[in-house]
Amino acid sequence: MEIRRLHLLLLLQGFMLLSVTGNCYARFVVEKNSLRLTSPEKIKGTYDSAIGNFGIPQYGGSMAGAVVYPKENQKGCKSFDDFGISFKSKPGALPTFVLVDRGDCFFALKVWNVQQAGASAVLVADDIQEALITMDTPEEDRLAAKYIENITIPSALIEKNFGETLKKAISGGDMVNVNLDWRESVPHPDDRVEYELWTNSNDECGVKCDMLMEFLKDFKGAAQILEK
C-alpha cells in the first residue's frame, strides 16, 4: 500500500512539474503577413496583420489592391446586396480590398459577405487596441459551415490604430493602396505550402493504427498534388 501511495505521489509531482514547465514555455504564435501601404505618401510604410485561418491566402506571393471603407454596413454583418453596394473592380483597376470593423458577428461571416459583393480581400480593423490575434472559424455553427468552405479570398486583422489611420485617409479622399505579402508567413517561401507528416512505431498495431495506415495510403494522392 505504501509503495502504491509513493508511486502515485511521484506521478502527481511529475505531472505538476510538466504542467508548470508547459505553462512557462508554451506560447501561441499568430501567423502574420506584412501589409505594405504604398499610398498616400504621408502614411506609407509596412504594418503587421494577422492572417485569417479560412479562405485562400496567397502563400509565397503577394497581392496589391485599393482599400475602400463602406459608408453602410461597416461591420459587414449583413449582405451588401441589401445596401446596393458592389466591390467589383472596374477593368484595368486594382483589385478592391474592403476594410470592415470588428464586432457583432463572426469574422468569417464578414469575409463571406464582402466576397459575395465582389471584393478580392478583406481587412478587419480591431475594435480595441491589443496584440493581433488569429481570426478563427466559429465552432459548432451549422449555418457558418455552409459558407466557410466556400470562402476563397484572403483576409487579415489589423490593429485598431492602423485601421483608424486608413479610415481617415479614405474619408479625406486619398487613394489608399496596399500590398499584402505572404512570403514571410512560411519557413521557405518557394510558391509551395510546406508540411510535415509525423508517424511512429505503433502504426502497425490495433484498430486505431489500421485507421492511421489507411490515412497514409489515402494521403499519397494529396501529397503528390502538393508536391506540384
Summary mean pLDDT of the chain: 79
Asked whether the beta carbons of 135 and 33 are under 8 A apart, the reply is no
- Across 69-119, the runs of DSSP E, i.e. the strands, are 96-101
Specify the pTM: 0.69
pLDDT in tens, the chain (228 residues): 434 443 433 333 443 333 333 444 444 456 677 889 999 999 999 998 888 888 887 766 789 999 999 999 999 999 999 999 999 998 889 999 999 999 999 999 999 999 999 999 999 999 999 888 888 777 666 666 678 888 999 999 999 999 999 999 999 999 999 998 887 665 555 656 666 777 666 555 666 677 777 888 888 888 888 777
Distance CA 136, CA 109 (A): 11
Asked whether the beta carbons of 36 and 46 are under 8 A apart, the reply is yes
Instruction: Give the domains, in start order, of the chain with CATH numbers.
Output: 32-185 (3.50.30.30), 191-227 (no CATH)
Distance CA 114, CA 99 (A): 9
Cell numbers linked to 64: 496589391
- Amino acid letter at 2? E
Query: Which of 42, 118, 136 shows the shortest CA–CA distance to 80?
Result: 118
